Amino acid sequence: MSLTLTELDPGSWVIFELPGFNTAASGTATDSLDALRKADATSYFKGNGSLWVKVVSVSGGGRGGGASIQVSR
């Protein structure tokens, strides 16, 4: 599954909890949910039966930045 964000201010972010998902195709692995919250780039944490993904918007064309990440079960 692909998670894509558009039209966000650069540096803005969103954290998703994805129960049953196991892997992210990109981003940086973190050791804890707290470390994920503190990350300043797109990152992920696997724990408690869920994949937690923090998607951070980067500068791009148009009114805002965008970011995407692929995750899988």
Q: Which residues of 46-60 are buried (b: 16+ CB within 10 A; e: fewer)?
A: beeebbbbbbbbbee
Q: Which candidate, 26, 30, 29, places its Cα nearest to that of 2? A: 26
Of all residues in the chain, the percent with pLDDT exceeding 70 is 90
Q: What mean pLDDT comes out for the span 22-39?
A: 96
Residue 43 has pLDDT above 90, yes or no: yes
pLDDT tens digits, one per residue of 53-71: 999 988 655 555 678 889 9
- The alpha carbons of the chain give a radius of gyration, in whole angstroms, of 12
Amino acid present at 66: G
